[in-house]
Amino acid sequence: MVRSVTTTPDAERIVTGSRDGTAMIWTPACSEPLHVLPHGEWVRDVAITNDQQHVLTTCRDALVRVWNLTDGRLTAELAGHRAAVRDVHLSQDARLAVTASMDRTVGVWDLRRRRNLYRLPHDSGVRSVRITPDGGYAISTSDDRTARVWDLTTGTELHRIAAAHRIACCAIDPTDPTYFALGTSSGEVLRVGARTRHTTT
């Protein structure tokens, strides 16, 4: 079962993550993968840096792995989470990665130095996380029924949005990053912004 998929902007490379414990790098012209990236557990999410140099994968074994997109070589393992890592998102300049883990934390990673900068706390497992286009802030969602806005320079929580149900996912408006959408386990969608908030189902 394929759990996640992403492509390079030119669609020349496709990366998939699967419950069979592998991620794969594909080209649309071939029916067989160019590279198979082995993991010990099921792969939850995959992401490609905007410079198209690296692939990041998250896994049930709590590790975040960095791979060379061209040759499929493992270049780093980012350790720090203590439970499955569900989601990964990258800054547009490929400098930062943020990860969402069932250990109740958001990980903030310096990809150039390959080190953890912060572990940002929730009260239950974290489902998703996104970085604003300017790379300055992150939004995370959790089973604790909150979404939280973080300053990535200082690691401080700026805002907290409470919902009646678990918040499963989020998306940032690319034209106005002060607005974002949250999807809950009840099927409700919250649109949150500096001046307005409304819900649709």
Residue 77 to residues 96, 103, 123, 156, 162, Cα–Cα distance (Å) = 15, 18, 26, 25, 34
| C-beta separation of 65 from 79 below 8 A | no
Residue 106, domain extent: 2-165
Tell me the torsion sign for CA atoms 98, 101, 103, 105: positive
Residue 184 belongs to a domain? no
CA–CA–CA angle 140, 148, 90 (5° rounding): 35
Number of domains within the chain: 1
Q: What is the pLDDT of residues 38-58, one digit of tens each?
A: 998 999 999 999 999 999 999
Residue 194 has pLDDT above 70, yes or no: no
- 129 domain residue, yes or no: yes
In Å, how far are 2, 27, 64, 90 from 79, measured between CA atoms? 24, 30, 7, 17
For residue 182, tell me if it sits in a domain. no
Residue 194 is assigned to a structural domain of this protein:
no
Q: Is 175 part of a structural domain of the chain?
A: no
Read off the CATH number of the domain in which 9 is found.
2.130.10.10
Residue 37 included in any domain: yes
Tens of pLDDT, residue by residue over 81-130, are: 999 999 999 999 999 999 999 999 999 999 999 999 999 999 999 999 99
The rounded distance, in Å, linking the Cα atoms of 128 and 146 is 11
Domain annotation covers residue 180: no
Residue 68 inside a domain? The answer is yes
